[in-house]
């Protein structure tokens, strides 16, 4: 099986305060998800303990709702005192996504954001090597969380493993977040403004400004982030394993908006024809494709997921047999078309 290794961007590690555990309650009995888009997490591995002063673990997740999981999905891994990692390796093909990660300076807290469409049942994982401090007992809890702004069901978002007892702990649900205010409400369109978001139950959170993840980190009562580029008045929200909370006021961008990204370029399709009834899986290769949407003869494709140089999609039904233009559209514009042919 071919896998992808995404290198850790450790040099961009943020200075941060370790997350508190946040308020949590016991998880309800297993019931069908109440959210069409849902993601659940788990963990496993050869954990350090006893005579073993090093080990490894995998933080795994699966799209378990009834609709494709879309938008940014945020993951955190918190390690107890005396246990550290040098970052995560993420394995997934095809490369139809963006994946970024940040590791705290002490090597105990990792945050990752995966952006891409994940079809129901899609399973993925990131692997971490673990090290311990000589002479320090291997105890404490490893906590893994997941959160997505389109996931309204808080169950299945927290996984905990007790190194001392060598056992998985009962499932919990983080309490719903609340946002009470922003320390700064204006800044230049180029981004880069430090903002403190205040509230409660914000641990393990991701801040979105105008729907775009903002670099930073959260404690239980505050998130400290740096704004991405934008324009106009942008809503600010915090997405946690317990849900999503929106700030009472937005962030107002001033001055010129950031320049548009480069226009997408499509170089080829891995599949160039399929039945007029649609349903054919098609991969698009090119450049500047991140966050793209795909159209076949002007008709939107289904299950579209785009990384920087690769998109996956399902061809829609065609109006009639024959050639149609396939294009990718991003914030940078629309690509020149390539040809896909519908067959009878």
pLDDT tens digit string along 132-191? Answer: 988 788 899 999 999 999 999 999 999 999 999 999 999 999 999 999 999 999 999 999
- As beta bridge partners, residue 72 has 115
**What is residue 16's predicted lDDT score, i.e. its pLDDT?**
33
**pLDDT surpasses 70 at 209:** yes
Read off the pTM.
0.90
**pLDDT surpasses 60 at 30:** no
Residue 106 — φ and ψ, nearest 5°?
A: -85, 0
Distances from the Cα of 34 to the Cαs of 23, 30, 172, 196, 330, in angstroms? Answer: 22, 11, 17, 32, 32
Cα 272 to Cα 280: distance, rounded to the nearest angstrom: 10
**What is residue 77's predicted lDDT score, i.e. its pLDDT?**
98
pLDDT tens digit string along 291-311? Answer: 999 999 999 999 999 999 999
Residue 167: burial class (beta carbons within 10 Å; 0-12, 13-18, 19+)? exposed
**What is residue 50's predicted lDDT score, i.e. its pLDDT?**
74
pLDDT tens digit string along 62-81? Answer: 999 999 999 999 999 999 99
Confidence of residue 24 (pLDDT cuts 50, 70, 90): low
Q: What is the mean pLDDT of the chain?
A: 91
- SS3 of 11, please? helix
Mean pLDDT value across residues 272-299:
98
- SS3 of 10, please? helix
**What is residue 133's predicted lDDT score, i.e. its pLDDT?**
83
CA triple 196-207-36, angle to 5 deg: 155
Distances from the Cα of 86 to the Cαs of 79, 105, 129, in angstroms? Answer: 12, 10, 7
- Beta-sheet strand order (sheet of 302-306): 265-269, 281-287, 310-314, 302-306
Distance in angstroms between the alpha carbons of the first and the last residue of the chain: 34
Query: DSSP letters along 16-80, please?
Result: --PPP---EEEPPPP---S-SS-EEEEEEEE--BTTB-EEEEEEEEEE-SSS-B-SEEEEEEE--
The token duo for 97 is 């996504």
**What is residue 33's predicted lDDT score, i.e. its pLDDT?**
75
**pLDDT surpasses 60 at 39:** yes
């Amino acid at each position: 099986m071919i896998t992808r290794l995404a290198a850790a961007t450790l040099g961009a590690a943020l200075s941060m305060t370790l997350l508190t555990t946040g308020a949590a309650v016991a998880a309800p009995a297993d019931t069908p998800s109440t959210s069409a888009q849902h993601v659940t997490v788990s963990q496993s591995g050869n954990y350090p303990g006893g005579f073993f002063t090093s080990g490894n673990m995998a933080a795994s997740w699966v799209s378990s709702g009834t609709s494709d999981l879309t938008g940014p999905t945020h993951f955190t891994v918190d390690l107890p005192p005396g246990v550290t990692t040098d970052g995560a390796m993420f394995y997934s093909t095809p490369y139809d996504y963006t994946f970024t990660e940040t590791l705290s300076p002490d090597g105990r807290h990792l945050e990752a954001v995966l952006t891409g469409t994940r079809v129901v049942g899609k399973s993925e994982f990131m692997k971490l090597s673990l090290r311990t401090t000589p002479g320090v007992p291997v105890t404490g809890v490893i906590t893994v969380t997941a959160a997505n702004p389109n996931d309204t069901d808080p169950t299945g978002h927290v996984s905990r493993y007790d190194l001392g007892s060598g056992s998985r702990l009962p499932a919990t649900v983080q309490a719903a977040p609340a946002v009470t205010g922003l320390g700064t409400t204006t800044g230049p369109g180029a981004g880069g403004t430090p903002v403190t978001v205040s509230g409660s139950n914000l641990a393990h959170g991701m801040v979105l400004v105008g729907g775009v993840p903002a670099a930073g980190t959260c404690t239980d009562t505050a998130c400290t982030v740096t704004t991405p580029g934008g324009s106009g008045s942008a809503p600010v929200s915090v997405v946690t394993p317990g849900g999503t909370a929106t700030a009472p006021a937005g962030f107002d961008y001033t001055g010129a908006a950031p320049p548009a990204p480069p226009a997408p370029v499509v170089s080829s399709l891995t599949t160039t024809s399929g039945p007029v009834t649609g349903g054919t899986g098609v991969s698009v290769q090119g450049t500047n494709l991140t966050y793209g949407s795909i159209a076949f003869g002007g008709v939107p494709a289904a299950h579209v997921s785009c990384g920087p140089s690769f998109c996956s999609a399902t061809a829609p039904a065609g109006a009639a047999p024959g050639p149609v233009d396939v294009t990718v559209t991003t914030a940078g514009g629309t690509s020149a078309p390539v040809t896909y042919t519908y067959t009878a």
